[in-house]
Chains A and B, each alone.
Chain A
Amino acid sequence: MKISVTVNGTLYEREVEPRTLLVYFLREALGLTGTHVGCDTSSCGVCVVVLDGDRAVKSCTMFAAMADGHDITTVEGLVQGGKLHPLQQAFWDCHGLQCGYCTPGMLMTSYALLKHQPNPDEPAIREALAGNLCRCTGYQNIVKAVQQAAAETNAPAPEPVAT
């Protein structure tokens, strides 16, 4: 069947089998390999992408066909105008990643979280990230990174400096 999906702002039209999982569509049909696969039971969250702007979904638990007509943001879509998204910057600054395998999923879950809750505290972040596993970091620096990104996103724009 034919589907058309907007991914990171670009409209793609592709032929897919109904059973094609969204994650393989993104990875193999579109070559967007930032979204990973880590399990078969919808448990790990390394495949999380954002649907229609603010809904985090496990792309291994959705058929590509279900994304027809929808808008998807993947980790590759976070950089805007050549600038890292505050979450990306914060993960880097706070050592929120080690092997980097869980990172795209963590970033996208956090991205959706900040759309709903711009100012989450530590318990809220730990709660929101509990569908994403990480084997390397022990989560502490990831939580710190999301806090930093939230603070940065909410910070008032710097006063223009008189020259």
Chain B
Amino acid sequence: MFPAPFDYHRPGSVDEALALLTRYGADARVLAGGQSLIPAMRFRLARPAVLVDINALSELSYLREVDGMLAIGAMTRDAALETSALITSKYPLLADTSALVADPVVRQSGTVVGSLCHNDPAGDWGVTALAGRAQIVIRGATGTRTVTIDDFLVDSFTTAVGDGELALEVRFPTPPPRTAGSYQKIERKVGDFATAAAAARITLDANGAIADAGIAIGAAGPHALRVRDAELLLNGAKPTKELIRAAGDAARKLADPAADNRGSVEYKKDMAGVLVARGLIAALARLGVEGLR
């Protein structure tokens, strides 16, 4: 199956890319890893008239810590996170996620930012970005703005990136001490989108109580959802089995999944709860808190 015809541009700089995006407006699509866009074009579900390929913008390929934030450039591929010592040592939530997105070959092309821009309801990165309190830097003809992930995820396959704009990077706050996270995903097989997914991020205070929690679920609504009720329950509380169970229940309650081949509404709602609980248990175990199973 072959895409419908289109015009192809490969800008050599961000400015050039923006000029093209401005010129073609709604007719243009950014082409990053292509791992969502090209399959959609082959099925002719997407028919952009113009593609602006940003693969030559090597200046957008980086993983770096700046001002208390980890910045992931728009051309940084999932595989770069999987193999980065910085990520595996300091950002376990991101490391977990990067190893579970798509399949290992797709990850050598697909980008974190592209995945966020694609905003598939069952995508992985949106979940992690919500739990990790990420921000996205977007540039357009009129300048650069930074959007929180909560504002970025607008609807299924729709984000805050407007026509003529380019997402430049996603930033994750560097975790303070005594912080850990975990990403949990149920997939029918490798390469499948999530049946259910959950990300949990926990910071403990000196007394072992939860100082800050970030909880999100995927495949449970039009896009990844932050489970605020769970976060409220967790913040300030000591981790117990009951607390974890309650956090899971908050996720069950919030989840509003669509039934499909991956599962019924009932199953997916329950899995949202199970995975939030498991994510918390795994994150706490990474902080040395055991016995909560």
Contacts and interface: CB of A to CB of B under 8 A. Distances in A.
A129 B10 CA distance: 31
Interface string A99-135: 0000000000100100010000000000111111000
B51 A42 contact: no
A146 interface: no
Nearest to B43: A40
Contact of A65 (B8, B109, B191): B8
A116 B83 contact: yes
A57 B2 contact: no
Interface stretch (B34-42, B133-141, B239-247): B34-42
A42 B4 CA distance: 17
A18 B190 CA distance: 31
Contacts of B5: 17-19
Contacts of A36: none
Interface in B1-59: 1-8, 10, 31, 34-35, 38-39, 41-43, 51, 53, 55
A109 B2 contact: no
Contact of B8 (A40, A42, A62, A63): A63
B191 A18 contact: no
B8 A58 contact: no
A86 interface: no
B104 A63 contact: no
A55 B3 contact: no
A18 B108 contact: no
Nearest to A1: B8
Nearest to B3: A19
B105 interface: yes
B242 to A, nearest CB: 35
A19 B4 CA distance: 7
Interface residues of A, number: 31
A94 interface: no
Contacts of B39: 40-42, 61
B109 A58 contact: yes
B145 to A, nearest CB: 29
B53 A45 contact: no
Contacts of A109: 104-105
Interface in A61-92: 61-63, 65-66, 68
Contacts of B43: 40
A131 B104 contact: yes
A79 B95 CA distance: 36
Nearest to B103: A131
Contact of B108 (A19, A66, A112): A112
B147 interface: no
A61 B55 CA distance: 14
Contact of A42 (B6, B31, B55, B106): B106
B190 A55 contact: no
A68 B106 contact: no
Contacts of A58: 105-106, 109
A56 to B, nearest CB: 5
A62 B34 contact: yes
A48 interface: yes
Contacts of A18: 5-8, 51
A68 B2 contact: no
Given A65-B10, A66-B34, A128-B104, A19 B109 contact: no
A97 to B, nearest CB: 18
Interface of A: 1, 17-19, 21, 40-43, 45, 48, 55-58, 60-63, 65-66, 68, 109, 112, 116, 127-132
6 contacts: A40-B39, A42-B35, A58-B106, A62-B109, A127-B104, A128-B104
